[in-house]
Amino acid sequence: MDFNVKRLAADAGTLFSRAVQFTEEKFGQAEKTELDAHLDNLLTRAESSKHWTEKILKQTEVLLQPNPNVRIEEFLYEKLDKKVPTRMNNHELLGQSMIDSGNEFGPGTAYGNALIKCGETEKQIGGAEREFIQSSAINFLTPFRNFLEGDFKTILKERKLLQNKRLDLDAAKTKLKKAKMADARALAEQDLKLTQSEFDRQAEITRLLLEGISSTHAHHLHCLNDFVEAQMTYYAQCYQYMVDLQKQLGSFPSAFSSNNNQSTASAAASVSVPILPLSAPLPATTTNASSGFTELQNFSGSRKARVLYDYDAAGSNELSLLADEVIMVSSVPGMDSDWLMGERGNQKGKVPITYLELLN
């Protein structure tokens, strides 16, 4: 018991001398031992690493799970050391809705079958997204989180201990300056040597830990490569799924019809959905129409044409169209066979022939 009391008294005395030294430094009444430039730079670098690691970690979590409520729920499950319940992601939910609606409309119908195909693809994309999130969490988020919760906390602990050793050293220096008697000075010098030794030892420990930040950066670089590779795999899978889906949809017949007064013959014309960029014109609807356009392109002059579908001009040399309006069209030498020159009053520009029906 006597030993504990003395220990408590010694600890209290140390804390008090540190507090006095710290206060006097703040008021400029005591000298402060500065850390060497190399150690100071290492401390600054460690703080910068911690700041940007936290920011990258947070933004990656937002990217992988945009819903903040779900992130909070997953955090709580992690802290409680419980497994997060499996739930369908947005792609899978959409896919299931498409499949259910396709079955309701009838798998034997073109629309129902197309919905089912789209739903299956959405569920495939959802599965790929799940794998991407899991891979990113293991290979990217976990190492970043381990650094913040492990290595950097150790650095903070040792840095705080270094700060305390520095305060002890400066307090010993102040004590030596104030000592007048020979015995007091000898005791103060002995105390100064001890505190200097402990400070140097702690500075070396802290320096070694801080220099380990370079190894951390190298490890995080490897993790970053894994993250990029996981993203590349995910997007490549999604692209391939959509290409396959587009090919499947291209084999389904569909009937194009105008919005209001399109003729029955044009409405009943059946075509295949092309696998083309969005800016490409749709295929021609009837054989008669194609022969009429061919005749128009081979001879000069202009004819009236009805617009079958709305069309937004992709450039200043094209003419925007509205379904059911009637315009004048003519052929221009050297123009692509899929296009004609259209005129509406004073407006003039290229129009795709597949959006038109020639009138007699």
Q: What is the CATH number of the domain that holds 349?
A: 2.30.30.40
- Over the chain, what is the mean pLDDT? 82
Q: Which CATH number do you get for residue 192?
A: 1.20.1270.60
Domain end residue (candidates: 217, 234, 251): 251
Residue 330: give the domain boundaries.
302-358
Select the more confidently predicted residue: 50 or 331. 50
Torsion on CA atoms 147, 151, 152, 154, rounded to nearest 10: 160
Distance of alpha carbon 343 from alpha carbon 126, whole angstroms: 47
Distance of alpha carbon 278 from alpha carbon 182, whole angstroms: 94
Q: Is the pLDDT of residue 287 over 90?
A: no
Do 65 and 127 fall within a single domain?
A: yes
**Element (H or E) spanning 253, and its range?**
strand 253-255
Answering whether pTM is above 0.75, one says no
Select the more confidently predicted residue: 224 or 14. 224
What digits encode the pLDDT tens for the residues 38-50?
Answer: 999 999 999 999 9
Q: What is the pLDDT of residue 298?
A: 63
Do 189 and 335 fall within a single domain?
A: no
Please report which confidence band the pLDDT of residue 248 belongs to, taking 50, 70 and 90 as the band edges: confident
Q: Under a CB-based contact definition with an 8 Å cutoff, are residues 234 and 128 in contact?
A: yes
Do 310 and 219 fall within a single domain?
A: no
Do 246 and 331 fall within a single domain?
A: no
**Helix%, strand%, coil% for the chain, nearest 5:** 65, 10, 25
Please report which confidence band the pLDDT of residue 280 belongs to, taking 50, 70 and 90 as the band edges: very low
- Residue 63 CB-density burial (10 A; 0-12 exposed, 13-18 middle, 19+ buried): exposed
Residue-wise burial string across 71-86, b where 16 or more C-beta atoms lie within 10 A, e elsewhere: eeebeeeeeeeeeeee
What digits encode the pLDDT tens for the residues 192-247?
Answer: 999 999 999 999 999 999 999 999 999 999 999 999 999 999 999 999 999 999 98
Do 206 and 326 fall within a single domain?
A: no
